[in-house]
């Protein structure tokens, strides 16, 4: 089992594309079927990796960040978004590092290139959102599961 740091060496320049490339290199080296387990933004990354790499045979997604861009931008508000675009970075709380760190505007620009409608590969997938999750709402996972009968949704009281 490998547990990579998806922040890489530089959280500020994090993008979904960078994470896909980073983990894609590991998957390409695998000689056995791969099961990906991802949480939050890592869950979104895992879903995109499964779409791209046939070695990925199963997914377990914990509170995956489906529809993250629109939800997060809505929470930030127009003024914060404008300031982010003007300054080039925004201070956000990183749960892994337990502190605020800057993230560049490229993060949200890159995320706009990834629409959930393009995730169509059918493989065994367990999605485990939290019913009371305030960061990644349960409804995001429910919506993602619509018209994808191969997915299993199992919400937790958290």
Third-level CATH fold of 11-153: Rossmann fold (3.40.50)
pTM of the complete model: 0.92
State what percent of residues in the chain have pLDDT above 70.
99
Cβ atoms of 116 and 66 closer than 8 Å: yes
Task: Evaluate if residue 8 carries a pLDDT over 80.
Answer: no
- Four-residue CA torsion sign, 112, 115, 116, 119: negative
Q: What is the reported pLDDT for 74? A: 87
Tokens 């089992």 belong to residue: 1
User: Which are the contacts of 136, defined by CB distance < 8 A and separation ≥ 6?
Assistant: 40, 63, 64, 65, 66, 68, 71, 129, 130
H helices within the chain, ranges in order? Answer: 16-28, 41-52, 68-76, 78-87, 106-111, 138-145
CA distances 113 to 17, 95, 100, 144, Å, are 9, 25, 26, 17
Q: What is the reported pLDDT for 98? A: 92
Q: Where are the domains of the chain?
A: 11-153
> What is the phi/psi pair of residue 89, to 5°?
-145, 160
- Summarize the confidence of residues 61-68 as an average pLDDT: 95
Q: Tell which wins on pLDDT, 96 or 86.
A: 86
Tell me how far apart the alpha carbons of residues 61 and 144 are, in angstroms, rounded to a whole number: 12
* pLDDT tens sequence across 100-149: 999 999 999 999 999 999 999 999 999 999 999 988 899 999 999 999 99
User: Which are the contacts of 79, defined by CB distance < 8 A and separation ≥ 6?
Assistant: none
Q: What is the reported pLDDT for 96? A: 80
Mean pLDDT of the chain: 93
Tell me how far apart the alpha carbons of residues 146 and 144 are, in angstroms, rounded to a whole number: 6
Task: Evaluate if residue 97 carries a pLDDT over 90.
Answer: no
Task: Evaluate if residue 7 carries a pLDDT over 80.
Answer: no
């Amino acid at each position: 089992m490998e547990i990579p740091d998806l922040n890489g060496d530089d959280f500020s320049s994090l993008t979904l594309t960078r994470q896909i490339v980073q983990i894609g290199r590991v998957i390409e080296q695998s000689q056995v079927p791969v099961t990906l387990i991802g949480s939050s933004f890592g869950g979104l990354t895992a879903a995109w990796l499964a779409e791209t790499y046939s070695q990925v045979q199963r997914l377990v997604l914990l509170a995956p960040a489906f529809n993250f861009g629109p939800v997060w931008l809505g929470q930030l508000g127009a003024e914060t978004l404008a300031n982010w675009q003007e300054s080039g970075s925004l201070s956000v709380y990183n749960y892994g590092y337990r502190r605020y760190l800057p993230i560049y505007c490229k993060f949200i620009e890159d995320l706009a290139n990834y629409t959930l409608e393009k995730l169509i590969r059918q493989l065994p997938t367990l999605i485990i959102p939290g019913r009371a999750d305030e960061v990644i709402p349960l409804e995001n996972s429910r919506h993602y599961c619509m018209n994808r009968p191969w997915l299993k949704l199992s919400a937790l009281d958290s």
